[in-house]
Structure 1
Amino acid sequence: MIHEVDEVLKGLIGGGALAGSGIEVSFEVPTRDWAARRNAPVVNAYLYDVREDVSQRQRGRTALRDDRDTVVRHRRPPRWFRLSYLVTAWTKTPQDEHRLLSAVLATLLPHELIAADELPETLGRLGLAVPVTVGGSRPEARSVADIWSALGGELKPSVDVAVTVPFPSYPDYAAGPLVTEGAAVRIRGVDGGPPVSEERAHRPRRIAAARAAHEQAAARRTERT
């Protein structure tokens, strides 16, 4: 699903204040070699950290129902992961880079919560809104200086953008067959006889038959006398 988050972020950054500008949105690693090959303005969104947001972890399971409202499968709650991007602007002058970063901020700030129907298929299928944090704090032990040092480049102005997305917890579990009858206990009769439940079921008929035979015998005795 990370590539779908890339698509969402690219659509957000490329729209709004930057719509129609033709400015590229890149997800490549912003190394020195990459920067040297740039010959046009570009906004870079480098994914530098992926980790679970354990504060949103849930237990249990969710029932999935069909059109008849029958439970057909069980699903675990999704696991939420925080995808952190280092967003930078690359132009020939610092002033233009600052303008680009301002445009990125103006575009992203109104989208701090993305509805499920605005997400790509796999993400949207879960029916959960996705929060976007703009300019928040970075994960522990990941300072901006450490990131640029690892990339081998010089420190640049940047905006930290974090998208927290749900990942399905596989697999789903099939539900048992639909119960259509009440519970019944069947106990074997003595000496191989019929089950007690069957014997009780036939008892009213035997009583009625015995009563009818008794009444017939009584009627015959009356006729003899």
Structure 2
Amino acid sequence: MIHEIDEALRRLLTPAVTGDVAFDAPTRDWAARRNAPTLNAYLYDIREDVARRERGAYAEWDAQGIVTRRRQPPRWFRLSYLVTAWTSRPEDEHRLLSGAMALLLPHEVLPRDAVPESVRPIATSLPISVAVPPAESRSLADIWSALGGELKPSLDVVITTPFPVTPVYEVAPPVTEGEIVVRGIGGAPAASRPRMIRRPVIKETGESKEEESGSAVAGSRDGGGDT
């Protein structure tokens, strides 16, 4: 999933640079090997967006509207990228960053055609934020110190994406046939012999008479004689 978000971000940033869009850690060694204008989008933080967490399983339906399985809801994660420009002159780097901002700022969500196909069954829009101050627990200066490089102008780009969660529970086939169970007195199963079902029939005279609709007498009257 993460590599697909990488590719979506690459597609957004590519028009801003004549060189390359890289995802390497911008260390001193990497900077020394660079030989063309480059926009670097370094993924430096992955955190769950706990405000989006859902509870309970949800159903998946087939084309006939039948529930085929149930799965846990996806978990959403915030992927934070440190976007920097690398050229031989600071002015050109600033120009690259301006081009990146011009491409990213119009979007509050990823364009529909940039959303990875694996994500589309879950969500068709993925939030994206640009240059929003990071959380207090994260300091860009600390990130540069960890990379062993000097502090450079950068854009903090955050894309929030769902991640599927297992397990998936298969659902039994739907019930298509019913069964009538006849109970005797006190709820005990009735005898195995056929049972007579009676229903009231209203004659023209207004009197009510029970009509026999079963194939055999169920023993509700023993002896069969009238008194």
| TM-score relative to the length of structure 1 | 0.81
Indicate how the Cα distance of structure 1 residues 197 and 46 shifts in structure 2: closer, same or farther if over 3 A, else same.
Answer: farther
Partner residue, 2:205: none
Report the CA distance between 1:22 and its aligned residue: 2.7
8 Å contact from structure 2 (residues 194, 217) kept in 1: no
The worse-fitting range, judged by mean Cα deviation, of 194-203 and 130-139 is 194-203
CA distance in 2, matches of 1:59, 1:8: 29
Change (3 A) 1:197 1:107: farther
Question: What does 1:188-203 correspond to in 2, within 5 Å?
Answer: 195-196=189-190, 198-199=192-193, 201-202=195-196
Q: Percent of pairs identical after alignment?
A: 52
Displacement over 3 Å in runs of 4+: 115-118, 181-189, 197-204
Alignment counterpart, residue 152 of structure 1, candidates 131, 148, 151:
148
Pairs aligned (count): 206
8 Å Cα contact 2:115-2:124 kept in structure 1: no
Aligned-pair CA distance for 1:129: 1.2
Aligned residues of 1:116 and 1:123 also touching (Cα < 8 A): no
Query: In structure 1, how many angstroms separate the alpha carbons of the residues matched to 2:128 and 2:195?
Result: 66
1:79 equivalent in structure 2:
75
The 3 A distance-change label for structure 1 pair 97 and 166 is same
Alignment match, 1:90: 86
Distance in 1 (CA, whole Å) between partners of 2:179 and 2:76 is 41
Following superposition, the deviation at residue 157 of structure 1 comes to 0.3
* CA positional deviation for 1:67: 1.3
Q: Which residue of 2 aligns with 1:222?
A: none
CA RMSD of the aligned region, Å? 2.9
1:164 matched to 2:175? The reply is no
Q: Per-residue CA shift, 1:5-35, capped at 9, x if unaligned?
A: 00000000113xx2xx532000000000111
Which secondary structure does the structure 1 equivalent of 2:127 belong to? strand
Gaps of 5+ in 1: 216-225
Unpaired runs of 5+ residues, structure 2, are 198-213
1:9 corresponding residue in structure 2: 9
- 2:31 corresponds to 1:35: yes
Change (3 A) 1:116 1:72: farther
Q: Name whichever structure is richer in helix by fraction.
A: 1
TM-score normalised according to structure 2 size: 0.80
